[in-house]
Amino acid sequence: MAERRRGRPTAVGEALHSYLAKSGLVQRVAQAQVIPDWPRLVGPQIAAVTTPESVTPDGTLFVRVATSGWMTELQLQGPQIMAAINGGRGAGRIKTVRWLLSR
C-alpha cells in the first residue's frame, strides 16, 4: 500500500500548475492565453478589426485582419503590439505575429 502524504492537502490549482510545469505545458498555456486576452491586450479598436486564430508551439500567433489597410497599419505597429502581448507575465511567449487577410 502506498504511503499517504501527511500535512495539508494539495489545492487543485497547485497540483495542476505542478503537472503543467513538469510536462512542459506552462509555456503553451501562456501562449494560448493570448487568444482570450486579445481585446484587453490590443485595445477595442484593433480588437474590432482582428481575430486571433492560433498560436504555434514556436510562438507564432496567427491573426485575421478585416482589411488590407488595417493589415498594413498593424504591421507598422508590430513592435508596440508585441510589447503589449508580451508585457508583464508571460514575457516572450509570442515570438512573431502573422497577419492574415480575412476572406
Q: Give the SS3 label for residue 90.
A: coil
Q: Who contacts 21 (Cβ-Cβ below 8 Å, separation ≥6)?
A: none
- Residue 2's pLDDT is 52
Predicted pLDDT of residue 82: 93
- Say what the pLDDT of residue 79 is: 92
Q: Which residues contact 44 (CB under 8 A, 6 or more apart)?
A: none
- In the chain the domains, ranked by start, together with CATH numbers, are 12-101 (3.30.300)
Residues 7-29 pLDDT 10s: 778 788 788 777 767 777 777 77
What whole-number distance in Å separates Cα of residue 22 and Cα of residue 26? 9
- Global pTM value: 0.74
What tens digit of pLDDT does each residue of 56-101 get?
999 999 999 999 999 999 999 999 999 999 985 545 789 999 999 9
DSSP designation for 77: T
Torsion 76-81-82-87 (CA) sign = positive
Task: Quote the pLDDT of residue 30.
Answer: 81
